[in-house]
Amino acid sequence: MEEQENIIVADALGVIKTDIDKEYLAHLLCLGGTCRYRFNERDFELHAGDLSIIRKRKLIDRVQPSDDFRCKIIYATPGFIDLCTPQSNYGMKGSLALFLNPVMHLTPEQQIVCRRDFDLLEQRIRDTEHRFYRETLINTMQAAILDFFDFHARIYGNSDISTQNASIMSRFLKMLEEGTYREHREVTYYADCLCVTSKYLSEVSKKVSGYAANYWINRYTILDISRQLRNKSLTFVQISDMFGFSSPAYFSRYVQQNLGVRPSDYRE
């Protein structure tokens, strides 16, 4: 695959649709105006100087830009981001934090650095005649990611995460990303797969993300359920069966406990 397909710089929303099969991470710098959107079942609003990093664009809906909204966006495939991400365990903490809050309010100085990163990436993407095109593009993206790490650490604080804990958390989240929660929602199942105790997995999750392991299992589950509930072609019984609930009544209680409303009320 050509590198131009792995990374794209745009100056408007909608260049890459959220419903396409190919996944892209979106890094958006707001240059003016405002933009409201819902991500991970929570509402956010961007203002000039805000940087929003979205790792799962399919979790976005209700995007409402103002008439004067202006932005720059870097779209990059997960594989390209993995290739460019420095060997730092901070990436794990950052990705988890951005899952909960994808917006960073940058200082004027940070805005200058961020705009420079975006402009340089755009220049590198266009310079296809460079004899070391791929290497310069990877190097430029890596420098931008390090700046993003720095922004985040200065805003939310740095922390030391051991390589072992980062590895355990990474494998745990990979199982959730693959949809294992549809069949297994017990911490013991994931702990057994990772060859650790349930207590240890929860301690690692708490240390790395601030939340115990069962939080992430329930979070991934309810986000998926909410997406299925918006699909009105599916009945509640079908959705209940899809997630392995023992009965529609149990499914209804689970939804009400986690979303605060019954499935029928949520669908309305």
What distance in Å separates the CA atoms of residue 268 and residue 92, rounded to the nearest whole number?
37
Residue 18: the pLDDT is: 59
Q: Which fold has domain 3-156?
A: Jelly Rolls (2.60.120)
| DSSP code, position 37 | E
Residue 3: the pLDDT is: 55
Domain definitions of the chain by residue range: 3-156, 163-267
Q: pTM for this structure?
A: 0.76
Q: What dotted CATH number matches 163-267?
A: 1.10.10.60
Question: Tens digits of per-residue pLDDT, 120-176?
Answer: 999 999 999 999 999 999 999 999 999 998 998 888 776 667 778 888 988 998 899
Spans of the chain, pLDDT less than 70: 1-4, 17-21, 88-89, 91, 158-160
Question: Tens digits of per-residue pLDDT, 102-117?
Answer: 999 999 999 999 999 9
Average pLDDT for the chain: 88
Residue 61: the pLDDT is: 81
Residue 1: the pLDDT is: 37
For residue 183, CA distances in Å to 13, 52, 162, 177, 256 come to 36, 32, 30, 13, 20
Tell me the β-bridge partners of 30: 71
